[in-house]
Structure 1
Amino acid sequence: MLKKLKLWAKKLKRQVFTLYFACKDERVPLYAKVFIVCVVAYAFSPIDLIPDFIPILGYLDDVILIPLGIYISLKLIPDNVIADCEMKAEEMMKQGKPKNWIVGSLILLIWLVIFIWVFFKVYQLIS
């Protein structure tokens, strides 16, 4: 059971990297790229829609939303593009995950702005 779960997780990871490369491909339509960017950003984001510390519900978004987003994204991409991107993803997984500090900093900045905005709204309600 645990072995199957690990294989499933590895397959999902490979598919997320496949989508990452598909975003950069000019053969993918714009509407698909927009959806794919959202799925990849959510998959790589350390912040979840439902925090993982909430029992059972915390992992539901990881188990349902990400695979569903990947499935829909793969349906939006032409088969020949998927084949090319899968080869690139396999190669990348052998080398290790890339680290993009600019995108990571941008995500943190967005969450910081949201946190500050919420803080001021709550402060205005209290005062």
Structure 2
Amino acid sequence: MTGSFWADLLLGITAALLLTWLALVIVLAIARPRGGLLREALRLLPDLLRLVRRLAADKTLPRGVRIRLGLLLAYLALPIDLIPDFIPILGYADDAIIVTVVLRGVVRRAGIDAVRGHWPGTDDGFAAVTRLAGLKHLAP
């Protein structure tokens, strides 16, 4: 009887993890940039990573924002992706999509000026990031 309990528990946990992963894939597919913006996001990824690192180190930003940015950096540093690279479109783009979603939250909490002040790239690159992440709509 106890063996059946543990097998059922393991099966339940596995099913819950699989459903959670599937829900995440669906959310990322919905949140992904459309058209050529995805390629643009992948091209801007190095500048976005430097931006996230700079924002995470900024002590003037709210603690919750810095914690989210730190967790994002930890996720990006992991060799394991939530979505394997062999999955078309989302495989290589999951990092760009997650960075975009986190940046939206940063702008909501800290403002567009904080993001602009730490942007390491060109003005055209920043314009692309604001377009990509929909940041202009979130600016006060």
Q: Which whole-Å CA distance do the structure 2 matches of 1:4 and 1:37 have between them? A: 25
TM-score of the superposed pair, with normalisation by structure 1: 0.51
TM-score of the superposed pair, with normalisation by structure 2: 0.47
* Equivalence for 2:128: none
RMSD, matched Cα? 3.1
| 3-state DSSP of counterpart to 1:46 | coil
Show structure 2 runs of 5+ residues with no match: 1-35, 123-140
Q: Which whole-Å CA distance do the structure 1 matches of 2:88 and 2:44 have between them? A: 25
CA contact (8 A) 1:19 1:74 kept: no
Q: Which of 104, 109, 112 is the aligned partner of 1:76?
A: 109
**Deviation, structure 1 residue 36:** 1.0
Q: Which whole-Å CA distance do the structure 2 matches of 1:48 and 1:39 have between them? A: 12
1:28 correspondence with 2:58: no
Check 1:21–1:63 CA distance in 2 against 1; reply closer, same or farther (3 A cut).
closer
CA contact (8 A) 1:50 1:57 kept: yes
Q: Which whole-Å CA distance do the structure 2 matches of 1:61 and 1:7 have between them? A: 14
Q: Which whole-Å CA distance do the structure 1 matches of 2:44 and 2:90 have between them? A: 23
Higher relative contact order (CA 8 A, sep 6+): 1
Q: Deviations over 1:99-127 (max 9, x none)?
A: xxxxxxxxxxxxxxxxxxxxxxxxxxxxx
1:13 correspondence with 2:46: yes
Show structure 1 runs of 5+ residues with no match: 92-127
Q: Which whole-Å CA distance do the structure 2 matches of 1:4 and 1:57 have between them? A: 13
CA contact (8 A) 1:18 1:82 kept: yes
Q: Deviations over 1:74-98 (max 9, x none)?
A: 3332343323211xx239xxxxxxx
CA contact (8 A) 1:23 1:36 kept: yes
1:64 correspondence with 2:118: no
Q: Which whole-Å CA distance do the structure 2 matches of 1:79 and 1:55 have between them? A: 32
